[in-house]
Structure 1
Amino acid sequence: MTTTAPDLAERFRTDGFVFPVNALTHAEAEQALAECQTYLRAVSAVGGALARYAAFPKIHLVASWADRIVHHPAILDAVASLLGPDLLVWSTNLFIRPAYSGSSLAWHQDAVYLGLDGYQQHAARVWVALTDTTIANGTMRYARGSHLHGALPHRFGGSGLEDIMRGEEIAVDIDEAAAVDVLLDAGQCSVHHLAMAHASGPNQTDTGRFNFAIDYITPRVSPTAGEDSALLVRGTDTGAFLPERRPESDFDQAALNDFYSAVTRRQKRINQTVQNRNAGKGPDTPRDPS
């Protein structure tokens, strides 16, 4: 059954997530997927910073398909029902699980890597399905109510390469029997709290899984340290983030300049956040792999 606006806030407060939320139409999802694949080919051909940051954290600054999704009225209405009328996009991310990929991601929380004050009440991640998401293709799993415990300690699950590639995992037991699989049709989305514990499995199908994630915040969120930027998408902004601009077209020069500045600024700050959190241990780059 599709979740409607009146019950979003209560379910988000108690469970830490809501889905499915109807967002893009099937035709819009098909178009976005095609444009996303074209975008990935283009940035791969260009190389450099565009290719390095193709999947995160500022896709919306250079790609019109991403800009269109972050401004989608159905998504903004759903997020506004949770966070209020003033909304900014802090980050956009692509999460792709290729066909027959054996990769999986351990139970983790996004919040521990992001360096945001006020995220507990004033931020949410929207996970938009550009393809259907199923158990077979490695969709996300949520640990219901885990956001209520705040930021949990994390550790690597082992010393082998496979353990490290799976990322840091929560250093407390997760009740697998109570985990919820995020099953979405293309065009639908889920919304989760940034302290929601989640994981994902391997893709055992012959087609790739494509998801586009958007981190929405309100002006009541601020960076823990250093400068950062965000794009106002609804209401007014009186907050601590430098303003971003929408692209006039794909990869236009002004957009590229803004993109390079924004990702450099963000990467520097997030690297420092992760280093501070790990006290000199673990990776020095953000792990944000839903």
Structure 2
Amino acid sequence: MTVLTNTEGLGSVGYLTGIRWADTGEATRIAQQVAGHGDVVRQPWLILPEIAALVRRPAIVNAVADVIGADIALEGGFLLTKWPGADFRVPWHQDGAGDRMELDPDRAVTVWVALTEATAGNGALRLIPGSHRRGYLPTRREDPHGGQHGRALTTDVPPGSPDPIVVPVPAGQALLMDVRLLHSSPPNTSGQPRIGLNLRYVAPGAVTRRDGQEPQLYPIAGPSW
């Protein structure tokens, strides 16, 4: 499995690395402030002031605006902590489609934010470059694997896909992904926790709810909200 270290464009590969939103020391301080609220904290910006400020960082918002435009809201996301030795793995999936919603890939983008360093040994993301070009794939619930995080929605990697790559992300940097890009992550086998944010930013009209309800969005920038 290749370890990616260079910055690529979103277009052909479906991701962009190297978005710096803080220095290592500041990111580490924020990680220490938000740790201990659970392995998975949904919509953490609603309960943690540090995250509410982080999701509006100019470096992140400007990078998102370059992809989907200046009118930006959060559709969803998680604060994720992978503790050393815990059986916390995330199966292959796409962020833009689920049981209750689907995101327009032209008006949505995932941002993965590293509060602590993400490495090949502590559960950094695995991506399949270019997999977003296959569109949304059929989904199913993953098989039980002994973890404590339920049975996540997953999909099968199509035959003939490129080999997965590991994408290390230093603390204080972020990764942008097409919401259709196939990605996963293994357990943390290091001696330190891995803490990160998975954020789904959207432009107006990006969200289709399968249940007919209005999406609950958290405005970030622009006059449309």
TM-score category of the 2 structures, normalised to the smaller one? 0.7 to 0.9
Indicate the residue corresponding to 1:212 in structure 2.
Answer: 197
> What is the distance in 1 between the residues matched to 2:48 and 2:21?
19
The code of the aligned residue for 1:219 comes to P
1:213 positional shift: 1.9
Q: How many equivalent residue pairs?
A: 218
Q: 1:152 aligns with which of 129, 133, 137?
A: 137
1:68 positional shift: 0.8
> What is the distance in 1 between the residues matched to 2:53 and 2:91?
31
Gaps in structure 2 of 5+ consecutive residues: none
User: Structure 1 pair 119/28, CA: closer, same or farther in 2 (3 Å)?
Assistant: farther
Q: 1:111 aligns with which of 76, 96, 113?
A: 96
Q: Contact 2:103–2:179 (CA<8 Å) still a contact in 1?
A: no
- Secondary structure of the 2:213 match is coil
Which of structures 1 and 2 has the larger relative contact order (alpha carbons within 8 angstroms, sep 6+)?
2
Indicate the residue corresponding to 1:192 in structure 2.
Answer: 177
Q: Are 2:212 and 1:228 equivalent residues in the alignment? A: no
> What is the distance in 1 between the residues matched to 2:222 and 2:53?
17
User: Structure 1 pair 180/20, CA: closer, same or farther in 2 (3 Å)?
Assistant: farther
1:228 positional shift: 2.5
Report 1:22-101 matches (<5 A).
22-37=20-35, 40=37, 55-56=41-42, 58-101=43-86
User: Structure 1 pair 155/209, CA: closer, same or farther in 2 (3 Å)?
Assistant: same
Normalised to the residue count of structure 1, the TM-score between the two structures is 0.67
Q: Contact 2:95–2:110 (CA<8 Å) still a contact in 1?
A: no
Higher strand share: 2
User: Structure 1 pair 69/161, CA: closer, same or farther in 2 (3 Å)?
Assistant: same
1:127 positional shift: 0.7
1:212 positional shift: 1.2
Q: Contact 1:2–1:22 (CA<8 Å) still a contact in 2?
A: no
The code of the aligned residue for 1:235 comes to G
User: Structure 1 pair 26/152, CA: closer, same or farther in 2 (3 Å)?
Assistant: same
Indicate the residue corresponding to 1:179 in structure 2.
Answer: 164
Indicate the residue corresponding to 1:16 in structure 2.
Answer: 14
The code of the aligned residue for 1:76 comes to V
> What is the distance in 1 between the residues matched to 2:175 and 2:110?
8
Q: Identity over aligned residues, as a percent?
A: 24
1:31 positional shift: 2.1
The code of the aligned residue for 1:217 comes to V
1:221 positional shift: 1.5
Higher helix share: 1
- Secondary structure of the 2:137 match is coil
User: Structure 1 pair 2/223, CA: closer, same or farther in 2 (3 Å)?
Assistant: same
Q: 2:114 aligns with which of 129, 145, 157?
A: 129
**CA deviation string 1:231-271 (max 9, x = no partner):** 22111115xxxxxxxxxxxxxxxxxxxxxxxxxxxxxxxxx
Larger Rg over CA atoms: 1
Q: 1:142 aligns with which of 111, 120, 127?
A: 127
1:93 positional shift: 0.7
1:135 positional shift: 0.7
> What is the distance in 2 between the residues matched to 1:177 and 1:2?
17
Q: Are 2:188 and 1:203 equivalent residues in the alignment? A: yes
- Secondary structure of the 1:121 match is coil
1:62 positional shift: 2.3
User: Structure 1 pair 168/174, CA: closer, same or farther in 2 (3 Å)?
Assistant: farther
